[in-house]
Structure 1
Amino acid sequence: MANITRTDPLDELFRGFFVRPVDFNRAPAQAPSIKMDVHEEGDNYLVHAELPGTKKEDIHVVVEGNLVSISAEVKQEKETKEGDRLLRSERYFGKVSRSFQLEQDLDDSKASATFNDGVLELTLPKRTASPSKRLTIT
């Protein structure tokens, strides 16, 4: 005997149209990381970190020995107009942070930071090693 199956014409029309379900209220799968470049130039380390959508007041940099920690808070500036309805937002709002170690200890008293056009620039001078001192035994 032949098997008879019933099909819906709309199923045939939309089959393969959507590869996966669409969820417009979905949060980003992963918070963005701080992308950066670190260069060694003479007696300094130069760090360029991308922090788009961040204000200068919301960025914190901590230097301890050879450890550098950068943290920032990205805030959403809401401006809604009457009658407007947000359908999808793919921007991340929250805290991001990153820490890394360098080869040499840093002189935090001479370190400097500037923030311009979403890029944080750090100049981190290396701590000058004191020459070894030979002790005389008396």
Structure 2
Amino acid sequence: MANVTRYDPLDDFFRGFLVRPVEIGQGDMPSVKIDVKEQEKAYVVHAELPGINKEDIHVNIDGSMVSISAERKQEKEVKEGERVLRTERYFGKVSRSFQLGQEIDDNKARAKFNDGVLELTLPKKATTQARRLAID
């Protein structure tokens, strides 16, 4: 015979609630937020990279794969008589990779960075039509 056990979901909810530390406001490392638009001959990508210098942004294109990486460096300037009470801003590396539907002509690709937004214009490579090979 099987044992019957009574289950109360509130027991699981409150079990350990007061024992475990609760972290409020501590999330994962931030990611690069992007918008991708397709035009007839190109893709246009907008990536949010606030607080990052354009020298610290790297974009790699490999076929139809696009990778964006950036690093925000921490300022270690603490004046005499001053102490840091709390730091919530993220410092470190972030990256994002995504694949587009068609290969990119990396020789014609352009990038602009203005007001924390990276704009990539990624022209599509001309596709070659498949052809049937005649057998001799």
Q: TM-score range by the shorter chain?
A: 0.7 to 0.9
* 1:50 equivalent in structure 2: 48
Deviation of residue 130 (structure 1)?
2.1
* 1:37 equivalent in structure 2: 35
Deviation of residue 22 (structure 1)?
8.7
Which of the residues 109, 112, 122 maps onto 1:114?
112
CA deviations 1:70-123 (Å, max 9, x no partner) are 001110123222111110010111110000001111111110111111111000
Tell me which structure has the larger Cα radius of gyration.
Answer: 1
Q: Structure 1 segments of 4 or more deviating over 3 A?
A: 20-23, 26-29, 131-138
TM-score (norm 1): 0.75
Secondary structure of the corresponding residue to residue 57 of structure 1:
helix
CA deviations 1:15-45 (Å, max 9, x no partner) are xxxxx9798xx99431100011001122110
Task: Describe the shift of the 1:123–1:85 C-alpha distance in structure 2 as closer, same or farther (beyond 3 A).
Answer: same
> Within 5 Å, which residues of 2 pair with 1:95-110?
95-110=93-108
Secondary structure of the corresponding residue to residue 85 of structure 1:
coil
Task: Describe the shift of the 1:22–1:105 C-alpha distance in structure 2 as closer, same or farther (beyond 3 A).
Answer: closer
Q: Does 1:127 align with 2:114?
A: no
Which residue identity lines up with residue 43 of structure 1 in the other structure? Answer: K
Deviation of residue 53 (structure 1)?
1.3
What is the root-mean-square deviation in Å for CA atoms of aligned residues? 2.4
Secondary structure of the corresponding residue to residue 128 of structure 2:
coil
Secondary structure of the corresponding residue to residue 49 of structure 1:
strand
Identity level (%): 64
1-side partners of 2:21 and 2:66: how far apart?
42
2-side partners of 1:57 and 1:27: how far apart?
30
Secondary structure of the corresponding residue to residue 38 of structure 1:
strand
Unaligned runs of 5+ residues in structure 1 are 1-19
Unaligned runs of 5+ residues in structure 2 are 1-19
2-side partners of 1:27 and 1:37: how far apart?
26
Q: Does 1:88 align with 2:86?
A: yes
TM-score (norm 2): 0.76
1-side partners of 2:99 and 2:135: how far apart?
38
